[in-house]
C-alpha cells in the first residue's frame, strides 16, 4: 500500500519535472547549469515523499523516475571531460607503501654521505 501511495504522490514530482524541462531547449539539455535545478527538484521531491511515508530512499519507484528522466532527456549527453576513478587497491597500496619504504633508505644514504664527507675533510 505504501508503494502505491508513493507512486501516486511521486507522479506529481514527475509531472512538475516534465513541466520544468519544457523550458529547456535541446541545446541546453546537457548543460548542468541549466538542468541541475529541475533534476534536483525531482530528486528532492522523490526523497521528501519517501520520508513522509516512511518509505526507504532510494527505492525502486524513485530509481524508475530517475532512469526515465535520463532516458527521455539526457540519453544523448556525453562527458566532455573524462571522469577519474581511484586506482585499484593493489596499485593504490603500492603507491602508498613505496614512498614509505624509500624514506629509511634515503635517511640512511644522507647520514652515510654526511659521515663520508666529514671523514674526507
Kindly report the length of the chain. Answer: 121
Same domain for 68 and 97, yes or no, is: no
Same domain for 18 and 56, yes or no, is: yes
On whether residue 81 sits in a domain, the answer given is no
Same domain for 100 and 68, yes or no, is: no
Q: What is the pLDDT of residue 52?
A: 95
Same domain for 13 and 50, yes or no, is: yes
- Please give the model's pTM, rounded to 2 decimal places: 0.63
Same domain for 105 and 66, yes or no, is: no
Prior bond of 58 cis (ω within 30°): yes
Number of structural domains found in the chain: 2
The sign one gets for the Cα dihedral 51, 55, 58, 61 is negative
* Cell numbers for 69: 528522466
CA atoms within 13 A on the CB side of 117: 6
Same domain for 106 and 48, yes or no, is: no
What CA–CA distance (Å, rounded) separates 45 from 41?
6
Residue 66 in contact with residue 43, Cβ under 8 Å?
A: yes
Tell me which residue range forms the domain holding 45.
1-74
On whether residue 79 sits in a domain, the answer given is no
Residue 10 in contact with residue 46, Cβ under 8 Å?
A: yes
Same domain for 93 and 34, yes or no, is: no
7: confidence class by pLDDT, cuts 50, 70, 90? very high
22: confidence class by pLDDT, cuts 50, 70, 90? very high
Amino acid at each position: 500500500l505504501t508503494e502505491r501511495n508513493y507512486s501516486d504522490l511521486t507522479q506529481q514530482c514527475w509531472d512538475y519535472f516534465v513541466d520544468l524541462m519544457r523550458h529547456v531547449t535541446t541545446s541546453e539539455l546537457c548543460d548542468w547549469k541549466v538542468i541541475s535545478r529541475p533534476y534536483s527538484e525531482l530528486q528532492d521531491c522523490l526523497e521528501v515523499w519517501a520520508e513522509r511515508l516512511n518509505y526507504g530512499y532510494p527505492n525502486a519507484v524513485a530509481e524508475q523516475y530517475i532512469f526515465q528522466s535520463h532516458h527521455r532527456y539526457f540519453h544523448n549527453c556525453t562527458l566532455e571531460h573524462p571522469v577519474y576513478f581511484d586506482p585499484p587497491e593493489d596499485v593504490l597500496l603500492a603507491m602508498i607503501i613505496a614512498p614509505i619504504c624509500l624514506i629509511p633508505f634515503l635517511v640512511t644514504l644522507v647520514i652515510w654521505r654526511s659521515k663520508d664527507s666529514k671523514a674526507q675533510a
